[in-house]
Structure 1
Amino acid sequence: MNALKEPTLTTTKFILVTTQRSGSTWVIDMLNSHPQIAAYGELFLDKGKGSPTWCGGKDVTFWNTYFEEVQVPFKKTIKSLFIFKYLNHVYSPRSSIKSVGFKLMYPQMERFRRELLAYIFLNKILIIHLIRANHLDVILSQSTAAFRGVYHLRNSESTENVKLHLNVLQLVEQLQQQEEKILQAKSWYSKLGLPYMEVIYEELVADCRSFNAVLSFLGIKVDATKLSSSLKKINPKSHAELIENYDSVRDVLQNTKFCELLR
């Protein structure tokens, strides 16, 4: 991101809420590539240290690091005050930047609900809810990342191919849990009374112009063609190539509402 200069008068503030393995790292990367947007990764990551390295801006430290560096007595008793100060720092106006935001996972909102809700209401934070519609892809991405120990890849990087064996006895329940998690979040966030937008990951991947609606929501001149990211999918193969017991998975999903998730 560009060096800080004279601040602009107004800055649109947003959070991108989602769950793990929903393409949020790529989306933040894309948004941050726009010259008028400063987008950051999981600033409230549970064990985040230093500054985010995998996506978005790098000029803001994680909340954990910020709070550790606070040198005042009894700081834990006034932790809420420092969360507000931290968010003011994150959202601080800067030259040429019209919109600032960061990624927030569902559990992170739960952990800091009181402070974050107070802040987003007082500051009218825009909410972008990123949803990965294919719940099976979420499970496969989780399994692949855990198997490899690699959660993100850049275009210049490569890694070993994998064949995943899914537990068909638990698969339908896992898909239901993923669906319920998203539906609960949709209901909760959409009822906050704040500017709210749902974005489908698959639609963004299929056509970059789908980002135009997001940019418009952020008050940015529509030009999604300027967005870019060097991140690539960790599972580019078809399900038949990726899933070792594909036939068994297909059979167990055949008479369920999840049968259309197979690609």
Structure 2
Amino acid sequence: MQLGSCSQRRLIQEDVSPFKASKRSLFALRMVLLFFAMTFGVYICSICLKQISTRITPQYVLLPKLEMTERNCKIPDVPTEDLLYVHYPQPKTYSRGECECSPVRFFVILSMQRSGSGWFETLLNSHPNVSSNGEIFSVKERRENFSTIERTLDRVYNLEWVSSAAKNDCVAAVGFKWMLNQAAMEYHREIVKYFNRRGVLVIFLFRQNLLRRLISVLANAYDREKKLLNGTHKSHVHSEKEAEVLAMYRPVINTANLLTNLKSVEKVMEDSLRFFNSTRHILLYYEKLINNQDLSAVQKFLGVPVRELKSRQVKIHTRPPSAQIDNWGDVHRTLRGTEYEHFLEHADHIT
């Protein structure tokens, strides 16, 4: 029995030994494959890194060149967050000469017709270092699409726009006024991207008393047709005598759509503030400006030295609304008890 059991054990050991040998060979083969896989992986990674570094290198090389272009002049001591709004335009049509290293800020006045933008712009242009170029998008060809709008903006901000607002002194802030109904709202997405890319400062100028604005709109439309000043239409005047002539006209306001009209204007104002909210901007109201005429905040916003600003324009409608509207009784009844009742007050400034 013992001899039999011993012989059986030898047979079992002899049968198992080939399996052990095969396992050892499999393990060795796996190690060889793992080594080759790791070697191949390292090789592939090195190739990828070389390709990535090759793509990045040209961009890295170009950066100093861009910096040199922007830093030809000594940049003034301004906070880092303001650097986007400091520019050194290089016009193609002429040389800035001694003004080449004078920093310039870009701005735009977003407003609505008969909201005081003409008067406000004359105040800005009385500053020796500010150049505001008027209502340039009143010409339809300049606002047919965003491409024409962009070309026009580039001309203004490259200091290649010729107008009476050009200054002999080194201009420190250049811009224009833009009425919201002149494609500013239609292309607001593209315009906001342009403003943020080029560092354009936005000045909102609105009127709080929309009834008085409506009086001005209707009176201006009437004079455009009748030309009360010796056959000449004038939206703005420079003498009290001319202002008295234009103020003699008392418009009849359509009370059937008066509330709808006021709400529509309010919505445009609200939408514009929402659309251009991501820009660096300041909000001004005509009534507050005309009462205290403190424009120091605006000048600081534009980064120009604070000066006393003056305008030769004379206000046309100075009398209370009751003396300016032909059907005052109807208008009074329409607005009484509504959210616009305060428009019936005489004071331009609304507290």
TM-score by length of 1: 0.78
Cα contact 1:15–1:128 (8 A) shared by 2: yes
| Superposition deviation, residue 96 in structure 1 | 2.6
Over 3 Å counting, the alpha-carbon distance change for 1:112 and 1:83 in structure 2 is farther
Give the whole-Å Cα distance in 2 for the aligned partners of 1:233 and 1:146: 17
Match of 2:151 in 1: 82
Residues 33-90 of structure 1 show CA distances to partners (whole Å, capped at 9, x for unaligned) of 0112111211121358xxxxxxxxxxxxxx58xxxxxxxxxxx997577345423434
Aligned: 1:107 with 2:177: no
> Aligned partner of 1:96: which letter?
C
Match of 1:219 in 2: 303
Residue from 73, 80, 98 that aligns with 1:6? 98
| Superposition deviation, residue 171 in structure 1 | 1.0
> Aligned partner of 1:21: which letter?
R
Larger radius of gyration: 2
Residue from 147, 171, 180 that aligns with 2:222? 147
Match of 2:315 in 1: 233
Cα contact 1:42–1:103 (8 A) shared by 2: yes
Give the whole-Å Cα distance in 2 for the aligned partners of 1:119 and 1:95: 27
Listed as ranges, the matches of 1:1-263 within 5 Å are: 6-7=98-99, 8-47=101-140, 79=148, 82-83=151-152, 85-90=154-159, 95-108=169-182, 109-110=184-185, 113=188, 116-149=191-224, 150-155=234-239, 158=242, 159-160=245-246, 161-190=248-277, 192=278, 194-209=279-294, 211-223=295-307, 226-262=308-344, 263=346
Cα contact 1:83–1:115 (8 A) shared by 2: no
> Aligned partner of 1:41: which letter?
G
Q: CA RMSD in A?
A: 2.8
> Aligned partner of 2:259: which letter?
V
Give the whole-Å Cα distance in 2 for the aligned partners of 1:18 and 1:170: 23
Residues 133-157 of structure 1 show CA distances to partners (whole Å, capped at 9, x for unaligned) of 1111111111000112242212266
Over 3 Å counting, the alpha-carbon distance change for 1:220 and 1:249 in structure 2 is same
Over 3 Å counting, the alpha-carbon distance change for 1:221 and 1:9 in structure 2 is closer
Give the whole-Å Cα distance in 1 for the aligned partners of 2:146 and 2:322: 54
Give the whole-Å Cα distance in 2 for the aligned partners of 1:167 and 1:78: 39
- May I ask how many residue pairs the two structures share in their alignment? 231
Residues 71-115 of structure 1 show CA distances to partners (whole Å, capped at 9, x for unaligned) of xxxxx9975773454234347898432111110111232455466
> Aligned partner of 2:342: which letter?
E
Over 3 Å counting, the alpha-carbon distance change for 1:230 and 1:157 in structure 2 is farther
The structure whose residues are more often strand, as a share, is: 1
- Percent identity of equivalent pairs: 25
Give the whole-Å Cα distance in 1 for the aligned partners of 2:338 and 2:109: 31
Over 3 Å counting, the alpha-carbon distance change for 1:78 and 1:143 in structure 2 is closer
Cα contact 2:108–2:176 (8 A) shared by 1: yes
The structure whose residues are more often helix, as a share, is: 2
| Superposition deviation, residue 20 in structure 1 | 1.1
Give the whole-Å Cα distance in 1 for the aligned partners of 2:299 and 2:270: 24
Give the whole-Å Cα distance in 1 for the aligned partners of 2:318 and 2:176: 26
Over 3 Å counting, the alpha-carbon distance change for 1:30 and 1:78 in structure 2 is closer
> Aligned partner of 1:168: which letter?
T
TM-score by length of 2: 0.60
